[in-house]
Structure 1
Amino acid sequence: MDIPNSAVWFAVGIVLVTTIITKAARGRRKYEQASSMGTPHPPTVYCWSMIGLLCTLYMKGFRAMILDQYKKLGSVFTISFFGKNITILVGPEVADHFYQGMESELGLNMLDFTVPMTGKEVGYARDAATRCEQSRIQTDALRPSKLRSHVSPMLQEVEEYFAKWGDQGMVDLRKELEQVLMLISGRCLLGKEVRDNMFGDFFTLFNEMIDNGTNVTNAMFPFAPTITNRRRDRARAKISEMLTKIDDVLQYLIDSKYGDGRPTTESEVTGMIIGLILAGKQTSSTTSTWTGARLLSHPTFLAAVLEEQKHIVKKYGDQIDYNILLEMETLHCCIKEVLRMHPPTASLFRKVHKSFLVKTKEGTQYEIPKGHTIASPMLFNNNIPSIFKDPGVYDPTRFRPGREEDKAGGKFCFTVFGGGRHSCLGEAYAYMQIKVIWSHLLRNFELELVSPFPEMDWSKIMPVPKGKVMVTYKRRSLPST
């Protein structure tokens, strides 16, 4: 039986109130027992404070919720509810173990909501060793040595897609960028045959799976019989059926082997394909949309990136290759500032398998006990005023030589693509495809944002712009300076 999302949240509220009444005192006594290391545990937000916490989250957003507790409790604090303890680590001073810890000490399996989409044979449904092997197979196309070969097919996809626009018109920028990035992901990461099957039903089904598989309810109850979970599962089943008919790519991936010589299975290959599309398309489409919204709302920085494109056109003509993309430093900083203000996820999570110590900037030391979940609140960390001047202001020049606020603040100040042992392999690939898209749009179209600047959709685990992002366009040829 399907359960509406509203009913799920109502049930959560009832259970929460019951938990507050019946377990609060017992939970506090248990948690306040002496530390195994003789060091205090972090200050804790208990169940009876959760109502205020959730009200702040609902009314003001994630950043405001963390800020409230940060002001009261400092840079390390624990939120305790439902018998779970989530310890928040604010700022680079307490982030070292989060990013440098061994997987035997910190688990990465905090993304159960992805399992119904990628499948039980791959990713976070598997043990660390198997997941590492699968990543090796999956991410070969993302390695730096392969990036140069991706520029030409990316350009071809972008040019062909936007050639279909008229001389002028109005579009939903978010939808347009989702479509072109789906084609790029298929072409560069999986091959031309997959790309040729990316439009029509596949695109619709993939978006249906994502829309119904990445909201807050899914994250809390990924296997519950909710309406959105059923829609997600139906879309995923149809995608799997479509992919099994694409013989070439399946054969290519099936020919891949694990370290012990075992070949991949068909269900593993299907899951890996879905995972690759998620990695190549989802984050980049959101960042590309925010990049457009920010540039079209800030004439000074729009003029700066246009001037950079004019200079490059004068120097190289219409040619674009890997090295030319690297010269687009102004555009790079504009994208990086978007990632700071609109990161792909509000927070990263790990599961503590072995207790460890953290020391705050003020010198206070805490023990983080085994069994806790630790969180690095990226959306908040990216807005710490002592690191980023006027963090609420869109200012790409903060990353230019002479300022470089992300480096001046020390290690782990900018962790949009992870850090330490847990860096994202696709960082260079993501920047490259966003630059290819926006350099083409800036050179060939006059653009104007006609809808209000989009709000953040907090119903999604991976926050996206809320609603349509309507843009008018007029075709033009950018003159060189």
Structure 2
Amino acid sequence: MSFNNATSDPLFNGWQGFDDVYRLIPTSTPALSFLALINIPTVVILLNVLRQLVLPRNPSLPPEVFHWIPFVGSAVGYGTDPINFLTTCQKKHGNVFTFVLLGRKMTVALSSKGNNFIFGGKVANLSAEDAYTHMSTPIFGKDVVFDCPNEKLMEQKRFIKVGLSTENFRAYVGMVEDEVLDYMNRDPKFLSYQAKDAASWGQFDPVTVLAEMTILTATRTLQGNEVRSGMDKTFAALFADLDGGLTPLNFMFANLPLESYRKRDRAQKKLSDFYVNIIKARRSGQTNNDETDMIAALMTQSYRSGTVVPDHEIAHIMIALLMAGQHTSSTTGSWAMLHLAANPDVADTVYQEQIAKFSNPDGSLRSPTYDELRNLPVLDSVIRETLRLHPPIHNIMRKVRADLVVPPSLASPSKDGYYIVPKGYFVLASPVVSQVDPDLWYNASKWEPSRWNDSEGQAQKAFRQYTDENGEKFDYGFGAVGKGTESPYQPFGAGRHRCIGEQFAYLQLGTLVVTMVRSLEMEIASGVPKPSFHTLIPTPKQPRMISYHRRQLDKA
């Protein structure tokens, strides 16, 4: 029987040949588009899975974390909880592995040796500029930080170090204390409590309060009188718009046609002009140039070539200092307040340390000096332990400029030779993974400031490695510093990109903590919250309200 005669057979009653088959296939454009929408992504995902499971892997490359969706890769797992993601992958693949993050190949190097591999790498091989300039330049501005060659950045750090002198620090302690006390005596969050009876308890959000306190103290000290006096609603709005550019979205996609990006760019221009006008007024003698702030320090500096630092570069450095310092100090301060509120016995020990050292004959407490602030072991242990559990930056990246050989001490060689990280990949170090490694730290996930009291314990050993107290100092171009690249404790980074503002951060945080603990008794019923990783610097999740009560000895 031929298909042409099929209609004569009862079994094929109603058969119209291949025309009936064609009628069953959707031929309209919307229908075909719908099928393509379903099938093409499925095929792409299937091919991606087969590539990882079936095709032979290049043995010279580090093992790659399995992912379902190409381009997206492990973005969801990493973005939701990067620490859990990295430690889970570490258990499966070892200290060195690669994962895909929105089209980028990210090779991770964990452990102290991994930190040293990345932070101690040569600029010719590993570039911070290539990794970060797409996000930092629209915020900080041109020709500074990561928008210039590394040699120039090292000179800029040398200029900043001039402003971070011990003489200036001695003046800054009183300024920070004054700002904190003034804030607590005038802000509605604390005034509403003062209106009640003395036995009542108020509440405050540490993230909000510390963010406001740190920007006030930073502008009063490093930024100068003109900036501090200009801290009105307009400045706050510009800062907020510029701050909106420091998100994971901005890191992955530097320029999108979104209003938040346009606000970022407008704010950067206005703040840059604001600083340039201050500098011009000082150069012309219209305002007092005899200041201890960073603007005054930068105005006196010249590059090794003899070129005076241009006004727009000074302005952009000041923006970078304000933005970077604001986030790191305020977030660390928030975590410190939360842990002290959850551990009132530790907070009381911090308070008793002040009573022992700074009591006046009338029972009041005097203000500590900078040198005294540096010699408060209980306070110091609180800050170090907070930085151990909550370092401001949990992961640090570099872009690979030339193929890198992974040392055998970090990852065992493959059967065909050493692992190679190819040019064009990114490498990622995560100091926080080392800082909470249960194989290195007793009760690693618990906040225990007392661990820093043992001079022979792991904490102090790691700190000595970090500061290289007895080791050789290295000058990257901004003064001799300990590299600290092999330490499992690296709260401010290590090597040539170690944070230049580390000592100021300790001063600012120390004065904030001392002043608030001296003024307030605190508690938190909900306990210390988990971190949120939806921002570049992990902040405490809600609920996080701290209850407080004014102490009797609340004034210096």
TM-score, length-scaled by structure 2: 0.74
Note the residue ranges of structure 2 that are not aligned, 5 or more in a row.
1-38, 195-201, 284-295, 466-485
Q: Which residue pairs with 1:220 in the alignment?
A: 252
Q: Which residue pairs with 1:203 in the alignment?
A: 236
What is the correspondence of 1:250-399 to structure 2 with a 5 Å cutoff? 251=283, 252=296, 253=298, 256-314=301-359, 317-354=365-402, 355-360=404-409, 364=413, 366-399=419-452
What is the correspondence of 1:86-235 to structure 2 with a 5 Å cutoff? 86-109=106-129, 110-111=131-132, 112-143=134-165, 146-164=168-186, 165-166=190-191, 168=194, 169-210=202-243, 212-235=244-267
After alignment, is 254-263 or 386-395 more displaced? 254-263
Per-residue deviation, residues 150-185 of structure 1 (Å, max 9, x unmatched): 223223323333332446343333222222211221
Q: Quick check: which has more Rg, 1 or 2?
A: 2
Q: Which residue pairs with 2:489 in the alignment?
A: 414
Is contact 1:447-1:471 (8 Å) kept?
yes
CA distance in 2, matches of 1:190, 1:397: 35
CA distance in 2, matches of 1:271, 1:353: 27
Is contact 1:179-1:203 (8 Å) kept?
no
Deviation at residue 359 of structure 1 after TM alignment: 2.7
Is contact 1:42-1:366 (8 Å) kept?
yes
> What is the identity percentage for the equivalent residue pairs of Structure 1 and Structure 2?
26
Deviation at residue 224 of structure 1 after TM alignment: 1.7
Q: Which residue pairs with 2:498 in the alignment?
A: 423
Is contact 1:349-1:374 (8 Å) kept?
yes
Deviation at residue 250 of structure 1 after TM alignment: 6.5
1:308 aligned counterpart, secondary structure:
helix
Gap change, CA 1:278 and 1:142, over 3 Å in 2: farther
After alignment, is 471-480 or 201-210 more displaced? 471-480
Note the residue ranges of structure 1 that are not aligned, 5 or more in a row.
1-13, 35-39
Is contact 1:193-1:248 (8 Å) kept?
no
- 1:456 counterpart letter in structure 2: P
- 1:436 counterpart letter in structure 2: T
CA distance in 2, matches of 1:182, 1:442: 20
Per-residue deviation, residues 191-248 of structure 1 (Å, max 9, x unmatched): 22222112432123213321x2122111100112234322322333333343344346
Deviation at residue 464 of structure 1 after TM alignment: 1.9
Is contact 1:143-1:425 (8 Å) kept?
no
- 1:90 counterpart letter in structure 2: L
Is contact 1:310-1:478 (8 Å) kept?
no
CA distance in 1, matches of 2:167, 2:53: 53
- 1:222 counterpart letter in structure 2: A
Is contact 2:99-2:107 (8 Å) kept?
yes
- 1:437 counterpart letter in structure 2: L
Deviation at residue 362 of structure 1 after TM alignment: 7.3
Is contact 1:86-1:374 (8 Å) kept?
yes
- 1:213 counterpart letter in structure 2: G
CA distance in 2, matches of 1:478, 1:18: 70
Is contact 1:257-1:264 (8 Å) kept?
yes
After alignment, is 399-408 or 184-193 more displaced? 399-408
- 1:239 counterpart letter in structure 2: L
- 1:193 counterpart letter in structure 2: E
The yes-or-no answer on 1:79 pairing with 2:99 is yes
Is contact 2:519-2:554 (8 Å) kept?
no
Gap change, CA 1:405 and 1:84, over 3 Å in 2: same
- 1:475 counterpart letter in structure 2: R
After alignment, is 314-323 or 127-136 more displaced? 314-323
1:95 aligned counterpart, secondary structure:
helix
Per-residue deviation, residues 309-330 of structure 1 (Å, max 9, x unmatched): 2222238951311121112211
Deviation at residue 275 of structure 1 after TM alignment: 0.7
CA distance in 1, matches of 2:511, 2:110: 34
Q: Which residue pairs with 2:292 in the alignment?
A: none
Per-residue deviation, residues 420-465 of structure 1 (Å, max 9, x unmatched): 3332222121111111111111112223336664442221112222
CA distance in 1, matches of 2:348, 2:317: 41
Is contact 2:381-2:449 (8 Å) kept?
yes
Deviation at residue 87 of structure 1 after TM alignment: 0.9
Q: Aligned-residue CA RMSD in angstroms?
A: 3.3
1:281 aligned counterpart, secondary structure:
helix
After alignment, is 93-102 or 447-456 more displaced? 447-456
